[in-house]
Amino acid sequence: MIMWRNTVNIEVFRAIADRETFRKGIVEIIWDDAFLVTSLQREDAYLYDEPEDDPVEGCPSGFVRACKGNIKRLKDRKLEDLNGLPGHAARAQQVAAQLPLKKSPASKPLGMTSSDSLRSGELPSGLQHVSLQTNVEADPDAQATQPWSGGAIEHFSPLRTIFPVDKWPRLRHFGLSRFLVKQADVLALLAALPVTLRSVELSFLEFLDDGGTYRDLLTDMRDELGWQERATASRPKVTIGVPLTNTMPGRAVWIDDEVDNFLYGSGENPFGAKGERNPNNVAAGRGMVWDAFDPTHERPWASQDARLAAGSSRAEQ
């Protein structure tokens, strides 16, 4: 559960804490010092002003519509899974435990403005866990000139201008998600991380024109970082997430053991051999499909038979 510095969020937190069904699902609380504002962007205002077919007194129509849409999408996420899986029962309990809209403390739309403590160096030197995710889209201005590219090189921002890693000598985890990157720049940042590092997440990265690929990045990590020379217990565990196509938002293929075997053993590159199609794609048979919105959804990214054994009657796409 992520909380921001806003009284409405405190009310939501207390409402969740008072609900037997919801509070047992909280395993971690993250405090974000960003501010929430109550003003709406002009172009979004119509979403909250348009009349609702089934209005709820004291609740904005846009909030009612969004709530109904969320519940529908929650049910749709089942797709063609076999009935009776534990995760489906848990989702049904969530829907049944929904607070009445007119009593919900979060019944007004909110926007968020973010802070930038990373770049200013305000984070403490004893920091052990850093993970940053953006909402950047691949090829944001449709100016990419190469296949599999995340966009034109003009979008490049050196990672060291964002992450003052030399100020974090005790860092144990580093996560980078949804960034437009260059392979050499990612490699240089990883090389600068302290020897205390024990885990790394590199998920949904978009490599710019002439900026490399996941396949080549892993090869360079194996050949140039020297991590395999460290004691086994001191080697960073690397996890990579890549998006699925034509599927539910939030579902992705995640690989870690395959990466570990390649970096520190004799395993094959999970992104395929040099010359194979799409060097940023994980072939079926490697990794697991996880769902950011359903922690019980775990399926092997493998054959149809393997997915059936895991409880899915359809192929992940």
**291-316, pLDDT tens digit by residue?**
887 777 888 886 556 555 655 544 45
Q: How far apart are the first and last CA of the chain?
A: 28
The mean pLDDT of the chain is 77
Shared-domain flag, residues 296 and 148: yes
pTM of the model: 0.68
Shared-domain flag, residues 128 and 94: no
Shared-domain flag, residues 225 and 199: yes
Shared-domain flag, residues 108 and 222: no
pLDDT of residue 105: 45
Shared-domain flag, residues 134 and 38: no
Q: What is the 3-state secondary structure (H, E, C) of 226-269?
A: CHHHCCHHHCCEEEEEEECCCCCCCEEEEECHHHHHHHHCCCCC
Tokens linked to 206: 């978009």
Shared-domain flag, residues 62 and 119: no
Shared-domain flag, residues 31 and 77: yes
Question: 315 in a domain, yes or no?
Answer: no
Whether the CB-CB separation of 194 and 218 falls below 8 Å is answered with no
Question: 314 in a domain, yes or no?
Answer: no
Mean pLDDT within 55-64: 66
- Out of 112, 143, 158, a domain closes at 112
Whether the CB-CB separation of 171 and 127 falls below 8 Å is answered with yes
Whether the CB-CB separation of 282 and 242 falls below 8 Å is answered with yes
Between 313 and 286, residue with greater pLDDT: 286
The top-scoring range by mean pLDDT among 77-91, 107-121, 163-177 is: 163-177
Mean pLDDT within 112-120: 47
Shared-domain flag, residues 119 and 146: yes
- Sole residue written with tokens 């709530």: 67
Shared-domain flag, residues 108 and 120: no
Question: 69 in a domain, yes or no?
Answer: yes
Between 106 and 226, residue with greater pLDDT: 226
- Out of 87, 112, 137, a domain closes at 112
Structural domain boundaries enclosing 6? 2-112
Question: 95 in a domain, yes or no?
Answer: yes
Work out how many domains the chain is built from and give that number. 2
Shared-domain flag, residues 197 and 123: yes
CA dist 275 and 278 (Å) reads: 9
pLDDT tens-place string over residues 216-261: 999 999 999 999 999 999 999 999 999 987 667 788 999 999 999 9
**Considering only 28-32, 37-41, 234-238, which range has the smallest mean pLDDT?**
37-41
Question: 67 in a domain, yes or no?
Answer: yes
Whether the CB-CB separation of 198 and 233 falls below 8 Å is answered with no
Q: What is the 3-state secondary structure (H, E, C) of the chain?
A: CEEEECHHHHHHHHHHHCCHHHHCCCCCCEEEEEEEECCCCHHHCHHHHCCCCCCCCCCCHHHHHHHHHHHHHHHHCCCCCCCCCHHHHHHHHHHHCCCCHHHCCCCCCCEEECCCHHHHCCCCCCCCEEEEECCCCCCCCCCCCCCCCCCCHHHCCCHHHCCCHHHCCCCCEEEEECCEECHHHHHHHHHHCCCCCCEEEEECCEECCCCCCHHHHHHHHHHHCCHHHCCHHHCCEEEEEEECCCCCCCEEEEECHHHHHHHHCCCCCCCCCCCCCCCCCCCCCCCEEEECCEEEEEEECCCHHHHHHCCCCCCCC
Residues 6 or more apart whose CB falls under 8 angstroms from that of 57 comprise 102
Shared-domain flag, residues 229 and 98: no
Shared-domain flag, residues 163 and 283: yes
Question: 316 in a domain, yes or no?
Answer: no
Asked if the model's pLDDT at residue 33 lies above 80, the reply is no
pLDDT of residue 109: 38
How many residues belong to the chain? 317
Question: 76 in a domain, yes or no?
Answer: yes
- Out of 112, 132, 164, a domain closes at 112
**Strands 173-177 and 111-113, how do they pair?**
unpaired
**Considering only 75-89, 118-132, 151-165, which range has the smallest mean pLDDT?**
75-89
